[in-house]
Amino acid sequence: MSPDPRGTGLFIAGVRGAVATTVVHGLEGLRAGTPPVGLVTASPPFAHLPWEPAAGLHVCGWDVAGNLHRSAEELGRTHVIPEDLVELCAELRDRIELGLAPGIPDPEDVAAVDPGARARLELAPRAAVEALREDIRGWKRALGLQRGVVIYLASVERQRGLPAGWDDANGDPLALLERAPRELSRSLLYGAAAVAEGCPFINFTPAPGPAVAALAGMARRAGVPVLGNDGKTGETLVKTVLAPLFRDRALNVLAWEGYNMLGNRDGAALSDPERRAAKIQNKDRVLASILGNARAHTHVGIDFVPSLHDWKTAWDFIHFEGFLGARMSLQFTWHGSDSALAAPLVIDLSRIALRAQDRGEGGLLPAAAPFFKNPVGVTEHDFHRQMDMFRRWCAR
């Protein structure tokens, strides 16, 4: 069953990646009647709200390399997507590939990207944003879409400094782009293009995106929601649920060690220390925030294990102190599919962003905090409290 062409576009940066591929097939599965397991907006407390129907969501997007068919076949072989659904969606993948636009890679990756993406590296930042805006307009025209959401699912970026002016909430990103360096965070290019086109922007990666004051200010003035940063799907989700237990029972956490192994393209990207740093920072900061104990020893490690493919395993060791100084410990192992955990959140966040836009809410959306490791505009990391924020927002 094909999406309603009169509906809404999900304009995904990194559309050939594992998470986006799972979104494409997940939407098709939902249309065919697959139960919406993992989809918060379809769960009983929230299902009655006027969310965007799954049948009206149409995926388009950008990428710098790869092939959507190969991504789907790999996810089928590793039992993330049912193989019959992979076969069923072949024509849909063809349509997405035909309409795909070249993305904007990091300059360091020029040798590994498609010719179209390599050509876009020659564009100055302002011209690159205009090219992205024209892509959005083109998809809307070609498919008869009424509106859309831009979702940043690109590979983890290298950490870079922020140029002057971008930390000013009154700054104009489109003007700042005129003197921006060519290696400017790609999340700011896609974010500026999205807001300029009136599309909510969702940053599912550790890149700065909506955390940059100038972009958030532009979005607030334009009445366009911006959501981020860094989707919370696995080990960090468990941390933000467990850590309040120790805090609220007055148990003293002495050490919390976490070790992560993952495959797929994100795992490969995170083997680069310059890319890994921001991810580790986001995963580690939640504990200090929740526990309020600066003396606790915390550490996060990440290793790329190619044979795991889309699956990731995290092992955590928590050493804590109880009454009269008794030393105790808790260990847990989390093993899950990165894409099967992330894809429903991408759909949830798209629906949340569109509902916020319908309600006239522009700029940062604190209510989306439970979906992110590093939620912009929010200092609360306790998952239970974040969910209370989300429930109150939904009830308004």
Domains of the chain: 8-231+340-395 (3.40.50.720), 235-336 (3.30.360.10)
- If pLDDT is split at 50, 70 and 90, which confidence band does 275 have? low
Cβ(302)–Cβ(280) below 8 Å = yes
Identity at 33, one-letter amino acid code: G
Query: Which residues lie across from 148 on neighbouring strands?
Result: 9
Cβ(360)–Cβ(260) below 8 Å = no
Structure tokens at 136: 């959005």
Predicted confidence at residue 269, as pLDDT, reads: 74
Predicted confidence at residue 271, as pLDDT, reads: 67
Predicted confidence at residue 5, as pLDDT, reads: 45
Q: What's the distance, CA 303 to chain centroid? A: 20
- If pLDDT is split at 50, 70 and 90, which confidence band does 3 have? very low
Residue 285 pLDDT exceeds 70: yes
Distance from C-alpha of 383 to C-alpha of 233, rounded to nearest angstrom:
12
Contacts of 76 (CB under 8 A, 6+ apart): 82, 83, 85, 86
Query: Which residues lie across from 258 on neighbouring strands?
Result: 300, 316
H or E element in which residue 329 lies: strand 327-337
Closest CA to 285 of 267, 303, 298: 298
Q: What pLDDT, in 10s, does the model give residues 24-79?
A: 999 999 999 999 999 999 999 999 999 999 889 999 999 999 999 999 999 999 99
Closest CA to 187 of 216, 224, 146: 216
Distance from C-alpha of 86 to C-alpha of 336, rounded to nearest angstrom:
20
Distance from C-alpha of 15 to C-alpha of 204, rounded to nearest angstrom:
13
Distance from C-alpha of 95 to C-alpha of 374, rounded to nearest angstrom:
35
Place of tokens 């959507």: 68
End-to-end CA distance of the chain: give it in Å, rounded: 34
- Looking at the chain, the whole-number percentage of residues with pLDDT higher than 70 is 95
Q: Helix, strand, coil: what percent of the chain each, to 5?
A: 50, 20, 35
Structure tokens at 298: 């915390």
Minimum mean pLDDT range among 153-157, 316-320, 345-349, 362-366: 153-157
Predicted confidence at residue 279, as pLDDT, reads: 63
Residue 118 burial by Cβ neighbours in a 10 Å radius (0-12, 13-18, 19+): middle
Predicted confidence at residue 228, as pLDDT, reads: 94
CA geometry: angle 201, 202, 207, nearest 5 deg: 110
